[in-house]
A and B are shown apart, each in its own frame.
Chain A
C-alpha cells in the first residue's frame, strides 16, 4: 500500500492491474495518477474540474483534461478504459445514478469511493444534535458542502443493483484503517467499491 496516498486512493492504487488504461475522474493534484503511472506503469488519464489543479497536473507531466464528470464523460467511447475511478466525488454529482452509468459504460471496471453517511458518528450527530452532521468525514456545513447527494453504503448497494452492475470487491475504512465488512454501514467512514457491468 502506498503510504503517501489518501487511504481510499491507496486501496484503489493497490488493486488496479499493472499496465492498464485508467481514467481518474476528480484527479485533484494528480497523486493517484502519478502513482499509477510510476509504480503500476498504467496509461492514466484524468478529468478535473478546477483549472488550478489541472494546471498542476499538466506541470507534473500528467494527461489531465479540465472537465465536469456530470457533462463530459459522454464524450468517451464505450469501454475506452480498463478502469474508471471516481473517488469521493459521487456524492457531489448532480445525478449520481447517471454518473455511475457513464463510469460503467466507459470503463470495464469502476472504482468508486465515498464517505458513508450512515457511519455511527453521523447518525449520532443527527440523532442527538438534531442538525446536519459536521464530522471528520463530512467537515462542511450543510449550506457550503459540495456533497449534494449524501449516500450510505446500503443506498449505494441498492443503486448498484438497480443499475444492474456487479460488486466485484469492497473495502471499508474507519480511522484511516481497513475494517471488516461486518456492520460496515454502521462502522465505516468510507467505502471503496470495485464494480463491473
Chain B
C-alpha cells in the first residue's frame, strides 16, 4: 500500500508478548499542530481495526478525508491549534508500519511468518515512537474501538505516559461473540483460494473476495438494526421487482458489497488476520492477574469512558465494567452512555454531545 507518512524506524528490537522479537520494525505516523516547547500538549490518537494514521488528512489510496476529520483539526474538539496530535499506523497493519506485507530479513515479504502480535505489542511500538519524539508524558491518549483498547493498554502498562485517557465505544476484553465474528472474517479470507497460505504478495491475485466478505460481516456489527432499517429497509436496488436470482436485489446487499470491495482497495488481507487476532487476544484483566482493577493500580491518569446505547459490538456493559474497575482502583473516572442511532460506528459520526465530552475532557 502506498504511504506518504513520515517513518520512524524503531531503534531497538521490539519484544513481543508471544516471546518473539520483531527486528527492524518501523512505524508510519502523521502529526498535526505543533509541539509546545515544554512538550506538554501532545495527544495520541489510536486508530481502530481498519483505521490508519490519516486521522485528519487525505487517505493516499482512497483520496477520502481523514477518518476523524470532524473531531480533529483547527478549532475542532481535538483542537490542533492547541494540541500536537500524533496518530500512528499500528504494527501489523499495512499503511507504512511493519506488518505481514513488510519485507523480512531475507528480502521476501513476511506474510504469515510475521509474528502474531497483541494490542500491548502495538502500544509497545507506539511508546517507542513517543520515545523517539521525546514525549515523556502525553496530555492525553484517545481511542475508539480498538483504539480504546490501546489507550487502556497504555494506561495499564505505561501508567506514567498519559495524563488523560479517553476510551470510546470500547472494551477491556473481547467477548465470545466478538471473537466469533472475527473468526468468520478470518475464515472467509483463508477460504479464498487466492489467499494461498498468505503468500499472495507480488502476484496478480489477492484474496479480495475473502477480505470483502470479512469486511461485510464485520460492517454489520458496526451498525444497528434500527440504523440499517432506516437506511435501507427492504428497498430494492435499481429495480422495481425482485429478480428471483442472486444479484444484489436489496439496497442493503448492494451497500455491503460496495463496502466490501472498497475495503480491499485499501487493506491487506493478512493484516486483517493479524489485527483481528490481536483484538481477540485482548483481555486486560488477564494480563494483570485476572483482576481488572489491578491493571489500573499504578495509574494517576484521569479517565473518561463513552459508550453508545445502540452499540451491540462493545455494549455499555463493557464500559461500565471498566468504570467499576477504575472505581475500585480509586482512579478518577467519568463515564457517559450517549444515545445515537448508528450502533458502534456512532463514534465516527456526527454527535454534538460526543464533541462536547471530548473537548471538555481534554480541556
Contacts and interface: CB of A to CB of B under 8 A. Distances in A.
Interface of A: 43, 45, 51-52, 54-55, 57-67, 75-77, 80
Nearest to B338: A51
B357 A55 contact: yes
Nearest to A76: B327
Given A65-B335, A66-B335, A66-B336, A55 B353 contact: yes
Given A55-B356, A63-B334, A64-B336, 18 more contacts: A45-B332, A45-B333, A51-B339, A52-B353, A58-B334, A58-B356, A59-B356, A59-B357, A63-B302, A63-B332, A64-B334, A65-B323, A65-B327, A66-B337, A67-B323, A75-B324, A76-B327, A77-B327
A140 B209 CA distance: 62
Interface string B322-360: 011001101011111111000000000000010011011
Measured as residues with beta carbon below 8 angstroms from the partner, the interface class of chain B is 20 to 34
B359 A59 contact: yes
Nearest to A53: B336
A60 B302 CA distance: 14
A75 B327 contact: yes
Nearest to A75: B324
Contacts of B337: 51, 66
Nearest to A52: B353
Given A51-B339, A55-B353, A65 B360 contact: no
B304 interface: yes
Contacts of A65: 323, 327, 333-335
A100 B71 CA distance: 42
Contact of A80 (B330, B336, B357, B359): B330
A78 to B, nearest CB: 11
Nearest to A77: B328
A63 B333 contact: yes
A76 B328 CA distance: 6
Nearest to B332: A63
A30 B66 CA distance: 35
Contact of B363 (A55, A61, A63, A75): A61
Contacts of B335: 54, 64-67
B332 A58 contact: no
Contacts of A54: 334-336
B360 A58 contact: yes
B327 A58 contact: no
B361 interface: yes
B356 A80 contact: no
Contacts of B336: 51, 54-55, 58, 64, 66
A2 B105 CA distance: 69
A52 B302 CA distance: 20
A57 to B, nearest CB: 7
A10 B302 CA distance: 27
28 contacts: A45-B333, A51-B353, A52-B353, A54-B334, A55-B338, A58-B356, A58-B357, A58-B360, A58-B361, A59-B356, A59-B359, A59-B360, A59-B363, A60-B360, A61-B363, A62-B334, A63-B334, A64-B334, A64-B336, A65-B335, A66-B336, A66-B337, A67-B335, A75-B328, A76-B327, A76-B328, A77-B327, A77-B328
A107 to B, nearest CB: 13
Interface string B29-42: 00000000000000
Contacts of A64: 334-336
B334 A57 contact: yes
Contacts of A67: 323, 335
B292 to A, nearest CB: 12
A80 B331 CA distance: 11
A65 B334 CA distance: 5
A80 B326 CA distance: 12
B166 to A, nearest CB: 10
B140 to A, nearest CB: 13
Contacts of B332: 43, 45, 63
Contacts of B357: 55, 58-59
A34 to B, nearest CB: 13
A86 to B, nearest CB: 17
B190 to A, nearest CB: 41
Contacts of A52: 353
